Amino acid sequence: MEEYRIGYETIIKASQHLISGSSINFVPGETYISPHGAIIDGEDVSNLVRCSLDKWYTEGKYSKAFQIKLKDFFGGRVRGVTLCNSGSSANLLAISALTSKEFGSRAIMPGDEVITTALGFPTTVNAIIQNHAIPVFVDVDLHTFVPSPSIIEEAIIEGKTKAVILAHPLGAVFDAERIREICDEYRIWLIEDVCDALGSTLNGRLVGTFGDIATISFYPAHHITGGEGGAVLTQSPMVKKVVESFRDWGRDCYCMAGKDNTCGKRFNYEWECLPYGYDHKYVYSRLGYNLKLTDLQAALLESQIDKLPYFIERRRENFRLLYDGLKEFGTYLRLPKVIDGADPSWFGFLITVKDFCSPFTYNELIAYLNEHKIGTRTFFAGNLLRHPAYKDVEYTVFEELINTDVVTKNSFWIGVWPGITKEMVEYIIKIFRNFIDEKTK
């Protein structure tokens, strides 16, 4: 036992010196500037080591500790936090939960409509299709890349539209305040996909607190990471209970892993088709999944969230530096704008090449940046309806997706994550200037 203790303390002490994703020895033109990354320090590694030595790897004490910290981050405006294995799973759980019969006429049934956009990441939309509802696609604004509330309201068909699910893309903020009012007026659900936008605010209020449900991702590219991981934020205890049932195989029991008889009547339930007193831990009331987070992931997240305010500020600062440095090229490049009252916690810096004004093409600019070790990414899938997977899917396009197609063709983003230094930002701006000077001679 003494040997074990010494080994444990040695590992913990050594891990304090570990750090990943920062303190890079940057050599302009040689060091690759990744558009995304994670900062992992010694405290994070220490937490992982502690968890691994506890030998309890499914949901446990670290999951509980992280849930509390995440809920506290939202300042009492979120009533429930359910952890899961990814942001994509969080979206699946959000839509699946709202199909439950507990919600009566508000439940999403096969053939009902859910309003969303075609621009962005597929798993915001896939959960609609997988639950046999019909996605209704609206276009986005070309400057803010989010839809207007007026378009959302026009797309609603009373009795047929059951929900709106929208992402705050790349950290930018849609008008969740106004769309919340619209959803309340028509008694439909609002789901906020906050996977890119942890820490973004609207009129001083964190996004993720406007919706009936919000989803978060902890993939390594996002604001904090568990390697993988996600969370579902809820305002209603009933919705939380249903979300957790779908996450945990569809079981009726709500005991945490390793716990029994939380309800106090495990062997005293009556079921229509099961023997009296059938073990409640093995009664299934929904067609669910196993989408739980591990305690190892939670251990990393429980440490990472302590650094979240710093990460958010670094992302905002890098965005400000890039914007100030690139705004002189506004004749040729369309830079991001934010809606009134928004303060984004940026995921990336989106740039759109203006087709009719620029003496260069999107492809020429992308190639030049990559040649000079500046990593770029498209706006995820762009227009999803251009992809083979959606060829035979039933959907409705409320209006022509003109701006969605422009972004698909001419937009890309570069990184603002905390591992990008001021020196790197200055180099990025210099390379843009060199390229545009060459093309405008």
Q: Is 55 exposed, middle or buried (0-12, 13-18, 19+ CB in 10 A)?
A: exposed
Residue the block writes with tokens 């446990």: 60
Fold equal for 56-305 and 307-439: no
Of the candidates 345, 350, 341, which has an alpha carbon nearest to the alpha carbon of residue 308? 345
Is 222 in the active site? yes
Instruction: Write down the domain spans for the chain.
Output: 2-49, 56-305, 307-439
Contacts of residue 109, Cβ cutoff 8 Å, sequence gap at least 6: 99, 133, 162
Give the relative orientation of helices 295-304 and 61-73 as an angle to the nearest 10 degrees.
40
| Over residues 403-425, mean pLDDT | 98
The reported pLDDT for the residue numbered 21 is: 54
- Which tens digit of pLDDT belongs to each residue from 340-399? 999 999 999 999 999 888 999 999 999 999 999 999 999 999 999 999 999 999 999 999
- Cα separation, 140 vs 144, in Å, equals 8
The mean of the pLDDT values for the chain is 94
Say which CATH topology domain 307-439 has.
Aspartate Aminotransferase, domain 1 (3.90.1150)
Question: 0.85 exceeded by the pTM?
Answer: yes
Task: Output helix, strand, coil percentages for the chain, rounded to the nearest 5.
Answer: 40, 15, 45
Q: Where are the alpha helices (DSSP H) in 237-372?
A: 237-247, 295-304, 308-326, 362-371
Among candidate residues 36, 143, 168, 222, the one labeled active-site is 222
The reported pLDDT for the residue numbered 272 is: 85
Instruction: Decide if pLDDT at 57 tops 80.
Output: yes
Range with top average pLDDT, 6-10, 244-248, 272-276:
244-248
Tokens of 386: 């251009």
Instruction: List, as own/partner pairs, every contact residues 335-341 make where C-beta atoms lie below 8 angstroms and the sequence separation is at least 24, other chains included.
Output: 336/143, 336/144, 336/145, 336/170, 336/172, 337/143, 337/144, 338/144, 338/172, 338/173, 339/144, 339/146, 339/173, 339/174, 339/175, 339/202, 341/177, 341/202, 341/203
- Which tens digit of pLDDT belongs to each residue from 71-126? 999 998 999 999 999 999 999 999 999 999 999 999 999 999 999 999 999 999 99
Contacts of residue 181, Cβ cutoff 8 Å, sequence gap at least 6: none
C-beta of residue 116 within 8 angstroms of C-beta of residue 146? no
Say which CATH topology domain 56-305 has.
Aspartate Aminotransferase; domain 2 (3.40.640)
Count of alpha carbons within 13 angstroms of residue 92, beta-carbon side: 21
Of the candidates 223, 99, 95, which has an alpha carbon nearest to the alpha carbon of residue 165? 95
